[in-house]
Amino acid sequence: MPVNISPLLPEHLLPVEGITLGIAEAGIKKPNRKDLLVMLLDEGTQVAGVFTQNRFCAAPVIVAKRHLMQSSTRALVVNTGNANAGTGEAGIQHAVATCAELARLVGCTAQQVLPFSTGVIMEPLPVDRIVAGLPAAVANCKADNWFSAAQAIMTTDIVPKAASRQVQIEGKTVTITGIAKGSGMIRPNMATMLGYVATDAVISQDSLQALVRSAADHSFNRITVDGDTSTNDAFIVLATGKAGHREITCQDSAEYGLLQAAVTTVAADLAKMIVRDGEGATKFITVQVDAGKDADECAKVAYAIAHSPLVKTAFFASDPNLGRILAAIGYAGVDDLDVSGIQLYLDDVLVAEQGGRALNYREEDGQRVMNQSEITVRVVLNRGSAATTVWTCDFSYDYVKINASYRS
């Protein structure tokens, strides 16, 4: 079961003026399952995004990036059950056909529709089922449909992931609501698996693009479940401009800072939910690296720990076999690292310093922390002032079972 995720209710999620959402059961992979989402955007909505850097990126990623450059966006369509990745030119044609049909239904151009897919890779997209399901999804569109939308984009997720927040900008209430999906194949390299955050803030396109990249770097780009970067990752931020404050155009302004902080908070909440719902996860682990020479070496150390199967299985077993963490630090790729200057903490317990076991470390103290469902690993490099934090989970038997039977 997910690690300490509070139950989500529809009333927890705030509508965003200018956006409606509709879902359908299209039978893409399995019958009687919400698997198709449509988001309709009022004219004038600004859209910005970041996408996977996996070179085998999926057809919908190629088409969505192309459409974002060609035209304003009026609709998004998301299907689960099939990734439409590794499908060649036919996959691109299927993504375009999906956009064209939704455009016909809602009265816009195909270039104003962004497609997204998630599911099994290298299987042909059942575009006929998606096209057949689109009318029902469009008819279902309403402003307060965020909870159902979060359910409609789930794959191996156990729980839907969504969050809302409000902030005051120039005396106006600005709403931010977001949804995300992800549970396995999680090691984003730009964004997230699939994540959508909407706001009614008034912001220029250039400022929104800067905001989405910053939000991704402080949330989805700081999580890992299994070290695999998906072919379909996308993080999209939508700004309808309905809140009524003056347009945010300066990235140094206080108003930009307020909006950036609020959007990043929602994105970070969603990112942590993905880790807490990691496939088979039983523990939520924060890896914090402090006092590094620069952010790059801090990230190398953090991800070496967070990706290590030996470290992750030790956490699953609640086994304070903490030498595995030292080994991961050692192979992280910081070539001039002086290990005698490092300190390793497990929560508040000093485990290692001066190149070995801390003098006052006791196994029972390590065991006490390892028995918890939430643990912080803190590494102090003592080389500078840079720091970074990565969130991850353990590896359990269920991770293997889930992925061994993914296509069944």
The set of catalytic residues is 192
- Integer Cα distance of 86 and 122 in angstroms: 5
Which helix H or strand E contains 172, and what residues bound it? Answer: strand 172-181
Q: Find, among 22, 5, 20, 4, the residue nearest to 177 by Cα.
A: 20
Q: Find, among 109, 267, 111, the residue nearest to 182 by Cα.
A: 267
- Integer Cα distance of 297 and 6 in angstroms: 34
Q: Per residue in 201-223, is it b (16+ CB within 10 Å) or e — as a string?
A: bbbbeebbbbbbbebbbbbbbbb
Please provide residue 311's backbone torsions phi and psi, each rounded to the nearest 5 degrees: -65, -45
- Integer Cα distance of 94 and 161 in angstroms: 28
Contacts of 159 (CB under 8 A, 6+ apart): 2, 5, 8, 273, 277
Contact present, 111 and 70 (Cβ < 8 Å): yes
Q: Find, among 84, 106, 104, the residue nearest to 94 by Cα.
A: 84
